[in-house]
Structure 1
Amino acid sequence: GTSFPLVSRGMNEVGLAAKLTCVICSRTRTVHVSSLKIRKTNVVSVMSPAGCPHVNGFKVDNWKQNLRVIYQCFVWSGSAETRKRKAKSCICHMCGAHLNRLHSCLSCVFFGCFTKKHIHEHAKNKRHNLAIDLLYGGIYCFVCQDYIYDKDMEQIAKEEQRKAWKLQGRFFPLFNPSVGPSGLHHSVGEKYSTWEPTKRELELLRHNPKRRKITTNCTIGLRGLINLGNTCFMNCIVQALTHTPLLRDFFLSDRHKCEMQSNSCLVCEMSQLFQEFYSGHRSPHIPFRLLHLVWTHARHLAGYEQQDAHEFLIAALDVLHRHCKDDNGKKANNPNNCNCIIDQIFTGGLQSDVTCQVCHGVSTTIDPFWDISLDLPGSSTPFWPLSPGGDGSTLNGESHLSGATTLTDCLRRFTRPEHLGSSAKIKCSGCHSYQESTKQLTMKKLPIVACFHLKRFEHSAKLRRKIPTYVSFPLELDMTPFMASSKESRMNGQYQQSVDVYSLFAVVNHQGTLESGHYTTFIRQHKDQWFKCDDAVITKASIKDVLDSEGYLLFYHKQFLEYE
């Protein structure tokens, strides 16, 4: 479907046939071209593909150096300094937003939203034809109205990307033809590697020409789970984990290297489970091996009694963490200092600041967490009302209609300063005596996947009950206001940009009472496609069904990953 420009001066018309062979399936197709021109000397003169003709207007003077600077500072951002500069300066010059597919004009210093057409307006008014996507580095031509390919520009992009990876301590692509089928450049490390087919994989593709077309309605990865006797608590967590994007990519790329007996390794079983889920089979899976391993490694969950889904989640993450823990001595950038995939995805850092009421000295500790447990109105714990009330205002994408409690309310209560009182005096390192103090929790480091546990089950000496309070939760959640860095910025009178934005991808619900109930899960298959997983039965759900559900465990995935 590509048009080639032809030279017609001093030539005669002839008919010409060209044979095109696919390098993957080796099929050959003959293409007839009727209007080629040939010289009288019978030497065919066909120009090579020129690509986008509007690129030449950019390739003047020091265009290569200018393009490299853009990639270094505003696209790949290899160093921490350039990433900070990018976060501060890369905002739309029209609306001030930093998302909405921001593009930079290649002819002048202008950043504009692609989604809101601000970069299009600039290109039309200034007649600047080319812009660069600041997230992926693609070059867009406003005349051709498409992303274009230019060999020289692509080479510069790859070179600068590799330089940035080296600064970030990442691997080169996991499968690199120049290194061999299993070649890894171990001199630098990449957390989440790109994929390129090896010679062996290309050979397999040639011998298996059949392809499965994946559409937006594709249901690969959707599979029910048989209830083995009050095991809905396990099935709902398995559905959430198998639809966690980075965990799925890890297990489907065979990254786990087992150093224990495979029949007792929970990570090996999870790897097999992912293979089963994404095999394309539609019949419900029977997770008997997984249940046996859970009973073996988490004996408090053994038996056919109904268990708590949240308790199972923490136990499963703990066993997975122990079975795939990285023992190479390298420390990771999370509070657990562990390189295993569980800590890379789920571990965050919770900062606790205790302030002395006498000398105002602050004692800070940081603890790792896999989930955040939030109190609800209606519990025996005093709940500070935070909702604006029935004014219909919106905060963090959540509507405060009829005074409904929101997830943001629960997070604001979780991170509010708390006076410890005279009965809980702490020895101050400044005063060297026991003094009253205040305590405040904030997020020092957020995980890639944030799990929020709404404390619906209350167990106390006087009460054992379920709290049915409805909590409104959004599809997109901004965690920036709850960061320790935001607290410091507010104290210094500075504005903190919203960069820690999360998207909802799974919701675990509990129906029934404390003594008798049932767990189900809503999972997001594609951007706006949701499904309800009820053990072996999977049905399509609407976004309204998801947002109107009671909510027990909420799983959010970070929209933008930052390499440190």
Structure 2
Amino acid sequence: MSRHGCRHLCDLKASKGTESFKIIHKYFMSCSSAQARRRQARNCVCHTCKCWTPRLHSCLSCVFFGCFGSKHIHEHAKSKRHLLAVDLTYGSVYCFSCKDYVYDEEFDDIVKKGRDVASLAKGIQMFSVWEPSLSEVDLLKKNPKRRKVSGNSTIGLRGLINLGNTCFMNCIVQALTHTPLLRDYFLSDKHICQMAKDSQRCLVCEMSRLFQEFYCGIRTPHTPYRLLHLVWTHARHLAGYEQQDAHEFLIATLDVLHQHCKGNNGLSDKNPHHCNCIIDQIFTGGLQSDVTCKQCRFLKSYLDGTDKFEDPTSLTHCLKRFTRPEHLGSSAKIKCSKCHSYQESTKQLTMKKLPLVACFHLKRFEHSTGYHKKIGTYVSFPDELDMTPFMSSSRNHNNGYSEQVIQESASSLSSENKYSLYAVVNHRGTADSGHYTCFIRQHKDAWFRCEDHLINKATIEDVLRSDGYLLFYHKQILSYE
């Protein structure tokens, strides 16, 4: 395959350059402002039937938009002898003489740069605004009633058929498909499959198809049989129709997605041990473990990746207990590099780096030999969470956290460590048998309760009163390196 298209495209570039493609891409494809998107929605219609279709093409030789499916762009190409048109959704160039899409490296670079600029322009906004992504705008045009995402819009909401005790999977799928940055990634076609010869085995490709299914405007419940098959293939311990744990499914899914995504991004230049794939960028944080000598108060710091804490009566209480200093005892003395002798010490875990999405797992099931018990303790959680008091930078070496840090954090209105709740997975029943449901935040103040194929409107009070099992929080402010 040529990197510079067919001969017809080469002739066009030789006579007119790439200016026509740049203009079409700038004003009708990579619209990064609300005003540009409104202009795009108003003008991007077929000049023959006056309708917007998913496969609208623009002529590269003149100002004409035409439907590809209804062949209005074909009729224009034949009558005007204009042989080339660009797909306004994907930026692909179609040659009517070659009767196929042709690849051009120069045009592809223009599309990629446009996507990066549009993503940056959108990403620096506050998370709480909940504006639609560029891909969502394209999809919304299919239904004129949904061109503007208003408070009563249901775009992106779709039930999932239970394939036999698969409610645990359905809840996690709902949470992932409503994770804003993950949604933007998959709806922007940024995944480059590393399993080209066997793409049917790629979980990332299936997730991409799943996002398209959720945001295509169809309301009938979706049957995720392909996703279930891939999960069984890549996570053998979850195979079968027995009820599985939603948290275990989430960890397994993120792990497989990470394995299939990391080939696209590789390792970070700054840290060769850190992956830059979309899963790590969104869900990975870092803990710091500080061990302090009780004799001389000498501090040693270690990075730690564990995530285990007890379950008191509120999420904030859980975090306080998780990050409080722990006396290691006389049986676990360490050799202090300052005292040069074995001394008793304390250990304290704090957050070194916060993830963009923080998922909290509240331990609800207790298992021992021949004994299974569900922990029904109610644990309250907020709709907005500030993690500043639990950061390593907020740690007071003598007394844990200073009251000043906690008070300043509570009164701060612009803390970069603040999160908004956007999904909650619940479990009802016993440890041996039960059912998973979830709450999803659709817009700023719009909540819905998802139970397999059933979706009902809910209130924030319904969400906060529920017995949470998995809590999903998204950073309110995103920063870029």
TM-score of the superposed pair, with normalisation by structure 2 = 0.68
Aligned equivalent of 1:213, options 140, 143, 147: 147
Match for residue 200 of structure 2? Answer: 263
Alignment CA distance shift 1:183-1:439 (3 Å): same
Aligned equivalent of 2:382, options 459, 474, 482: 474
**8 Å contact 1:335–1:366 — kept in the other structure?**
no
How is 1:95-494 mapped onto 2 (pairs within 5 angstroms)?
A: 180=107, 182-183=109-110, 192-194=119-121, 212-214=146-148, 215-260=150-195, 261-326=198-263, 329-331=266-268, 337-368=274-305, 372-377=307-312, 405-461=313-369, 464-487=372-395
Q: How far is 1:432 from its partner?
A: 4.8
Match for residue 474 of structure 2? Answer: 557
CA distance in 2, matches of 1:225, 1:266: 18
CA distance in 2, matches of 1:208, 1:305: 39
The one-letter amino acid paired with 1:513 is T
Alignment CA distance shift 1:208-1:558 (3 Å): closer
The one-letter amino acid paired with 2:201 is S
Alignment CA distance shift 1:221-1:336 (3 Å): farther
Match for residue 425 of structure 2? Answer: 508
Q: Secondary structure at the match of 1:472?
A: coil
CA distance in 2, matches of 1:190, 1:418: 47
The one-letter amino acid paired with 1:555 is F
Q: How far is 1:208 from its partner?
A: 8.5
Q: Secondary structure at the match of 1:522?
A: strand
Q: Secondary structure at the match of 2:438?
A: strand
CA distance in 2, matches of 1:298, 1:231: 15
Q: How far is 1:300 from its partner?
A: 1.1
Which is bigger in relative contact order (C-alpha 8 A, separation at least 6)? 2
Deviations 1:243-279 (A, max 9, x none): 0000000000100000112111110010000011111
**8 Å contact 1:321–1:343 — kept in the other structure?**
yes
Q: How far is 1:343 from its partner?
A: 0.6
Pair 1:540-2:448 in alignment: no
Alignment CA distance shift 1:468-1:306 (3 Å): same
Aligned length: 360
CA distance in 1, matches of 2:310, 2:450: 26
CA distance in 2, matches of 1:420, 1:224: 49
Alignment CA distance shift 1:488-1:191 (3 Å): farther
Alignment CA distance shift 1:361-1:548 (3 Å): same
Match for residue 16 of structure 2? Answer: none
Q: How far is 1:366 from its partner?
A: 1.6
Which has the higher mean CA deviation after the structures are superposed, 279-288 or 321-330? 321-330
CA distance in 1, matches of 2:270, 2:431: 39
Deviations 1:502-557 (A, max 9, x none): 00000000001101111000000111111111011111111111110000000001
TM-score of the superposed pair, with normalisation by structure 1 = 0.58
CA distance in 1, matches of 2:174, 2:232: 19
Q: How far is 1:210 from its partner?
A: 5.9
The one-letter amino acid paired with 2:427 is H
Structure 1 or 2: more helix by fraction: 2
Alignment CA distance shift 1:303-1:485 (3 Å): same
**8 Å contact 2:192–2:264 — kept in the other structure?**
no
Q: Percent identity?
A: 67
CA distance in 2, matches of 1:191, 1:350: 33
**Structure 1, unaligned runs of 5 or more:** 1-21, 28-173, 196-200, 378-404
**8 Å contact 1:335–1:347 — kept in the other structure?**
no
Match for residue 62 of structure 2? Answer: none
**8 Å contact 1:503–1:557 — kept in the other structure?**
yes
**8 Å contact 2:265–2:275 — kept in the other structure?**
no
Match for residue 112 of structure 1? Answer: none
RMSD across aligned positions (CA): 3.5
**8 Å contact 1:348–1:447 — kept in the other structure?**
yes
Q: How far is 1:240 from its partner?
A: 0.3
Match for residue 531 of structure 1? Answer: 448
**Structure 2, unaligned runs of 5 or more:** 1-41, 48-89, 92-105, 123-134
